[in-house]
Amino acid sequence: MASESSNETSRQWEALLSEGDAYHRNTDDPGELRRCSRMTRKLRFFLRQTGLRPPADVFEFGCGNGNQLIPLALAGYRCTGVDVSERALKNMTDSLAVLGKMLGRKLFIEAVHADFINCRPEGLFDLVFHVGVLEHFLDTHTRHSYLLHMFDLARPGGHVVHAVPNGVHPLRALQRSQRWSYEVPEMDYSVESLAEELVSCGGQEVRVFPWNMYGYELIRPQVPIWRKMRYYAWQLLPFEWLPRRLSSVEGYWLAGFARKAFPHGASAACE
């Protein structure tokens, strides 16, 4: 059952990525490539919370066209990514080659075409992360198997980042009923359930941060200018400063941080 669930989710993502939607589409436009290669606020937050500096070894599960890995590679991190879509991985390596020519230097990301659960790269990583992948695995056993594999690939004391959409924001039900997002099924995470999942799979020093305050406002088909202005105003505030009762509901995304236990610590096994 778990294997069937994993295969179906992979097939759905392969179909979506092959359609070339706006987020995953490759481009040869230099201006667009420069924009996509910038270190986003999200990535800067991940790096700030983990304290990692180049040339740390970074692994992304479900890397798609390299929206996260390309900026990290440009910054000097040693990057590896796995995805079920061979086309998306080719787009990533092609984009990296174009950027390398533009910048006059060689850029490299180790791209692995595989289902993550079967991926066995050489060596271990300082950071293993995903952004918006695990919530699509609705079967608990399957999801925990993938999360455990993330811990398997991390060095002892290394970091695992589990980033998912907030399942309790005010427009969540409307978002689902109106299909304002991917049509691949998703589970609804909260701050509490995300923390519990990381702990149950052996995570140490677990912390969960809501982020992208009021980002759900921008998923509407038509967004009034005042809502856009409110969204951008909130982005000026460090979300770590906001009351947890507010941010845990109004944040569009949740980022869970954990560290892999050292050998003498607790074993990474789901309860």
Contacts of 133 (CB under 8 A, 6+ apart): 61, 62
When pLDDT is cut at 50, 70 and 90, the band that residue 39 belongs to is confident
Chain centre to alpha carbon of residue 123: 21
Considering its fold, how many domains does the chain have in total? 1
Q: Are strands 204-213 and 154-165 parallel, antiparallel or unpaired?
A: unpaired
User: CA-CA distance, 127 to 160, in Å (whole number)?
Assistant: 6
**Rounded percentage of the chain residues whose pLDDT exceeds 70:** 82
Domain for residue 33, yes or no? yes
Name the residue range of residue 222's domain.
2-259
pTM of the predicted protein model: 0.86
Domain for residue 164, yes or no? yes
Residues 173-194 have pLDDT tens digits of: 887 777 666 667 789 999 999 9
Domain for residue 198, yes or no? yes
Domain for residue 270, yes or no? no
Domain for residue 131, yes or no? yes
Domain CATH for 192: 3.40.50.150
Domain for residue 128, yes or no? yes
Contacts of 108 (CB under 8 A, 6+ apart): 73, 79, 96
Residues 217-231 have pLDDT tens digits of: 888 888 889 989 988
Domain for residue 7, yes or no? yes
